[in-house]
Amino acid sequence: MNMIVAVDENWAIGNKGGLLVQIPSDQKFFREVTMGKVVVMGRKTLATLPQGQPLAGRTNIILTRNKSLKVKGAILVHSIEELMEALKPYDTEDIFVIGGEEIYTQMLPYCDTVHVTKIDFSYQADAHFPNLDKLSDWEITGDSDEQTYFDLAYYFYKYERKKNKQ
């Protein structure tokens, strides 16, 4: 299972219910990587999407405690157990957890690949992603050259969970 996230230099991902910054090439990368795949998100992340609607061209699964929530074009689940059951028909390589903070934290143990866009800037933030650089079971297996968007520098990284050495 995969995750995809954009973080600042402090691993922050959001503030007051929104993204820290929108970088067109990061959004393009997100679209290309997730198109035709399964995206798993929380209700708050759904609310940040255009018109608060599920992402077109993808199977959208929303993890929410709100049992009365109805979302056209999405599968709603109310627990990790229910989510794992809903994910069984799909290839784990085709599943992408897309946020927010609570969902990332809950789902990290189930994932083995994380696509991280690291922005070389520190934003005011109230939501964070676990710092993979401080977790001994994660390593960088791919990276890009420096990218820029106006005066912002950023990089695309691929983190993978280290395989257990037998």
Report pLDDT digits (tens) over 121-141.
999 999 999 999 999 999 999
Burial class (CB in 10 A: 0-12, 13-18, 19+), 139: middle
pTM here is: 0.95
Residue 29 belongs to domain spanning: 2-161
DSSP state of 32: H
Q: What confidence score (pLDDT) does residue 166 get?
A: 47
Has residue 36 been placed in a domain?
yes
d(CA 57, CA 9): 31
Average pLDDT on 27-32 reads 97
Has residue 69 been placed in a domain?
yes
Residue 69 is part of a domain; what is its CATH number?
3.40.430.10
Number of domains in the chain: 1
d(CA 108, CA 12): 16
The CA angle 79-81-84, to the nearest 5 degrees, is 110
d(CA 80, CA 86): 10
Render pLDDT for 33-67 as a digit per residue (tens, 0 to 9): 999 999 999 999 999 999 999 999 999 999 999 99
Has residue 166 been placed in a domain?
no
